[in-house]
Structure formats: C-alpha cells, structure tokens
Structure 1
Amino acid sequence: MPELANTPELARKARFAGLLYLVIITAGLGAELGLRAPLIDLDDAAGTAAAILAAPGQFRLALAADLVMALSDAGLAILLYLIFRPLAPGLALSAMVFRLIQTVLIAASLLAMLTAWLLVTRAGHLADAPTLALVFLDLHAHGYDLGLVFFGVACLMMGALVWRSGLFARVFGAGLGIAGLVYLTGSGLRFFAPVLSPAFTPAYMLPVLAETAFCIRLLAHRA
C-alpha cells in the first residue's frame, strides 16, 4: 500500500477536516452533556416534561447543535474520503459510507426528540403525554447508539488508513481503532446487556481523547 503525498491541497483538506471535527466534538458534547442531560431523567417522566417546559430554548438548542453536528459529520466523511482515497480507494470509500450511515441514523433520531417536544408541549390534548415523550427520548438515545455501531466500524477503517498513511503518527491510527472498539462494545452492551452499560460509560473518554487528538493533528497539518 503506497503512502500519501503531503501536498498543499491535501494540507488544506486536512485543516478543513480538522475544523469540521472540532465543530462535531463541540456541538456533539455540548448537545448531549451541556444541554440535554440536565433536562432528561429517564426514570422521571413528569420531572423531565417539567424541565423541558421550563427551558424550551435549551431543548431547542440541543436539537440545533445535533443538526449542526450531523451536517458537519457528512462534510467530514466526504473530506476524509478525498484525503485517503489515493492511499486505498476501497477502504476510504467504505469508511465514508459507514460514517454517512451513522450520520443519517443520528439525524433521523432527531425526529424522536422532536416528537417528544411535541408531546410535552401538547400534553393537554393527549393522556400520558410525559410518559410517551420519555419513550421517544429513550428512542433517540438508542438511535444514537445504533449510529455508533456504524461509526465504530468507520473508526476501525479510518484507524487503518491513518496507520498506513505515512503522514500521521501511528498513535493516531491506533487511537481511532481503540475508539472504534469502544463504540462497538458500548452500543453492543446498550442493546444486548443494558445492565452492564452504565459501568462501561467511563470508557467513552478514550474515544473523546483519541478523536480530539486527531482533530488537533488535522488542524495543525502543513505541507
């Protein structure tokens, strides 16, 4: 497998990819941890409905941040394909496709969040609206984890591309590979052994660190 040639055009694409990666990390973590998590308690339907109604702007901002993340992720998938296509066209294309599937699933899951919002804000017209809203919020979370199955596979392939590229230190490729394994394991537990899922949650710090490091490396890339 040949190594990538470090051209000015590739460097520009890498920096733009790093910028999109930064938007994805900021918007994704901000939506989930900073905006959505304080409002949602999956064990308390009434409390969650009250929290959302008390902070409608915060809930809408979480939706907007996730939408920005999905749009940026689609752009990043295409850019990474263009960067690594000369190295291994088939593998680069596969990584792009799996990442785009993840993007579509996460974007589609926003419909579940929007449905929850409609239920909460129209509770007077529907019995048990808070309980139904909580089901849709849980569906959104599961849809996110389903997307991470495909993203985990994409990370494994991208890790292999970075490892063999000759442009980036192999530690970045290894980090992305580890991130892929964490995503696959975490989603597997969420669907097939949910009782073990909370104990595995701290492991998600590994993908955060690996992807942030790769983001910074892309931003700093020069020909």
Structure 2
Amino acid sequence: MELKTTTNQNMQQKAAVFSAIALLIMTFAAFFAQGYVHSSLVIEGDAVTTLKNIQASQVLFRLEVLGWLIIIIMDLIVSWGFYVFLKPFHPGYALLAGWLRFLYTAILANAVSHLVITKSVFQNSELGTSSRVAQQAMDAITAFEAIWSFGLIIFGLHLIVVGLIAMKTIIIPKVISILVVLAGFSYSLIHFMYNFIPQIENVIGLLELILMAPMVIGELGFGIWLFVKGKKVTMN
C-alpha cells in the first residue's frame, strides 16, 4: 500500500513538472504564432492585403502553423498532466477538467486545419493575388479564428474547474486558485460574447483588454507554481 502511494505521488509530481514545462512552451509558442505572426500578417477585412502579406512571408506563415501544432501537442500533455496532478484532490472534477481540455484541444486542431488550407490555397494557385484566391484564403483564416474562439469558451470552463479544485486544496495558494477561476471566467465570457453577441464587438474588445492580465496570469501563474512547488507536493 505504501509502495502504491509512493508511486502515485511520484507520478503526481512528474505530472506537475511536465504540465508546467508544456504550459511555458505553449505560452512562448502562442506569443509567436498569434501575438506576432498572425496579428502582423492578417489584416481584418482586407483579404487581398492579407494574401499578399502571406505570400511575401511564406516561411513566417509556415512557422505560425508549426507554432500552433506545438501548442496542440502541449495542450494534450497538459490535459493528461492536470488530470494526474489534480486526481488525488478530487477525481471526478479532475476527470472533467481533463476532458474539457481535451475537447478544447480537439476544437483547436480543427481550427488549425483551416490554416493548413490557407497555406495550400496560395501554394497551389497560379492566379496571384486575384480577389477570388484572396477571399478563399481569408475565408479559411476567418474559419480558424471563429472555431478557435468557440473552443476558448470550453477552455475557460476547463480553467474554472481547475481553479475550483485548487481552492479545495491546502497546498495550492488561494490567490493562484482565484486567478485561475477568474481567467477561466474571462475566457468563457469574452468568447461567448464574440460568438453569440458580436454586435457589441467594440465593448467586447474593451472588456478583453481589461481582462487580459488575469487571462494570461491565471494559467501561467499556476504553471509556474507547478514547476516550483508542484514537484514537491506530498499527500501525507
């Protein structure tokens, strides 16, 4: 019995480290793929300019797709890692959190497939930057953004469940638990509004700016805590 407890504890500690490393890698990949490449190449409402930007920076666009693929792999690791780490505290909620993250990752993978379609559109076309080709590429990019945004509603629910589990533990600081819940609530609220009440896009954009800090700090803070403290956790 003691050997089994020790084995489970070692697995829990390893899950904390793997999850933390995956979260950090994912953060840097997201800053590059979305924060730098996607935001600089894609011009909202201007399909022709967007296609010209992609054609002029094909290597950069391929690196964006690679960045998203890395994020998908890291998300799968986090799905497993969070489940293993949180299971001793609340098995049912830990399983729910893991499946929600897995579902979000599946939605993200579907979204990223549209970026691959975008790449094939301008690679296979001999029509230059014609409006038809540009619109095809823009439609694929828009589909990526819309599907990913919907997935972030699920992602937010995942963080809320993780935060609620963390609140019920003694070892995880309450401030981190609250930040994770707040981050999850922010993701779900903002992207629910983007998907179902887009008429107030300006208000949503302002709200997103206000909530950006807790959205970033919540999960990243939990990841740093997992790396520093989670690998030392004991259930004794």
CA-to-aligned-CA distance 1:156-185 (integer Å, 9 cap, x gap): 100011111222101111111001111111
Cα distance in structure 1, aligned partners of 2:30 and 2:106: 15
How far is 1:193 from its partner? 2.1
TM-score with structure 2 setting the length = 0.87
- Residue 201, structure 1, aligned to residue 208, structure 2: yes
8 Å CA contact retained: 1:36, 1:62: yes
TM-score normalized by structure 1?
0.92
Give the count of matched residue pairs: 219
Q: Which moved more, 1:13-22 or 1:124-133?
A: 124-133
Instruction: Determine the C-alpha separation between the residues in 2 that align with 1:123 and 1:204.
Output: 38
The Cα offsets for residues 162-218 of structure 1, whole Å up to 9 and x where unpaired, read as 111222101111111001111111111111222233222312332101122111111
Name whichever of 122-131 and 208-217 sits farther off. 122-131
Partner of 1:131: 135
- Structure 1: unaligned runs, 5 residues or longer: none
CA contact 2:48–2:131 (8 Å) conserved in 1: no
CA distance in structure 2 between the aligned counterparts of 1:145 and 1:127, rounded to whole angstroms: 26
Structure 2 distance, partners of 1:116, 1:205, is 31
| Deviations 1:78-131, CA, capped at 9 Å, x for gaps | 111011112111100000001100000001111111112222233335860101
1:142 aligned partner: 146
Extract unaligned runs of 5+ from structure 2.
1-5
1:192 — aligned with what?
A: 196
Alignment match, 1:28: 30
The residue aligned with 2:51 is 49
What amino acid is the match of 1:55?
A: S
CA distance in 2, matches of 1:94, 1:10: 17
Larger deviation, residues 96-105 vs 199-208 = 199-208
* Residues 135/8 of structure 1: CA separation in 2 closer, same or farther (3 Å cut): same
- The one of 169, 173, 184 equivalent to 1:169 is 173
CA distance in 2, matches of 1:104, 1:68: 14
Describe how 1:1-223 pairs up with structure 2 within 5 A: 7-124=9-126, 128-194=132-198, 195=201, 196-202=203-209, 203-221=211-229, 222-223=231-232
Q: Deviations over 1:52-103 (max 9, x none)?
A: 0001011011111111111111111111101111211110000000110000
Opposite residue 132 of structure 2, the aligned amino acid is D
Secondary structure class of the residue paired with 2:41:
coil
Larger deviation, residues 121-130 vs 33-42: 121-130
Two-structure CA RMSD over aligned residues (Å): 1.8
- CA–CA separation in structure 1 for the residues paired with 2:183 and 2:23: 15
Give the secondary-structure state (helix, strand or coil) at the position aligned to 1:37. helix
CA displacement at 1:11 relative to structure 2: 2.7
Give the Cα separation in 1 of the matches to 2:125 and 2:9. Answer: 58
For residues 117 and 205 of structure 1, the distance between their equivalents in structure 2, rounded to whole angstroms, comes to 32
Aligned AA (1:67): L
- C-alpha contact 1:110 1:140 (8 A) present in aligned 2: yes
Structure 1, 187-196 or 64-73: larger mean CA deviation: 187-196
